[in-house]
Amino acid sequence: MVLGLGTSEILLIVVVAIIVVGPKNLNKIKPFFKNLYKMYLRMQQETDITRHQFVDIEKEVKEQLGEVKKQAEKEYIDDIKKASMEVRKEMAREAREISVAAAKEFDKEKTEILQDSKKEAIADKAVASRKTKDAK
């Protein structure tokens, strides 16, 4: 299509012009139509080139969008991995803190049990020693 006219419309205009001008004056307008045809071919060629340029641009844009998408997905995955590592580190730190706190609590309980055991042993000795004194 050139200037909004299709090939069949341009041919119709040429046929009507030939009929209107008549066969006698056809040689006079022949150069005009020859130039018009050359202009039509040039415009058609430019249109084809432009169409090919658009196709090339479209391909390039699609490729670039694909690359951007891949990069965005990679960055997203990297962000998830980084966040996951941070969560793991935090969980390990908290586990260590809990382990240390549990060990301290265990040592405290152990100390209390040992102290209670010592007190009971002392009390048992005292009772045994009273019984021995009472028995004498």
Cα 45 from Cα 65, distance rounded (Å): 30
Residue found by looking up tokens 């041919």 in the block: 11
Cα separations in angstroms, 20 against 15, 26, 36: 9, 10, 17
CA 124 centroid distance within chain:
75
Q: What tens digit of pLDDT does each residue of 13-24 get? A: 878 877 887 777
Which DSSP string do the residues of 37-54 spell out, in sequence order?
HHHHHHHHHHHHHHHHHH
Q: What tens digit of pLDDT does each residue of 105-131 get? A: 999 999 999 898 888 888 878 777 777
**Residue 40 pLDDT grade (very low, low, confident, very high; cuts 50, 70, 90):** confident
Determine contact, residues 2/14, Cβ cutoff 8 Å: no
Cα 70 from Cα 15, distance rounded (Å): 57
CB atoms within 10 A of CB 42: 11
Whether residue 39 is predicted with pLDDT greater than 60 in this model: the reply is: yes
The predicted pLDDT at position 76 comes to 94
Q: Structure tokens of 120?
A: 């009971």
Q: What is the 8-class DSSP label of residue 6?
A: -
**Residue 3 pLDDT grade (very low, low, confident, very high; cuts 50, 70, 90):** low
Q: Which helix H or strand E contains 75, and what residues bound it?
A: helix 26-135
Q: Structure tokens of 66?
A: 């694909």
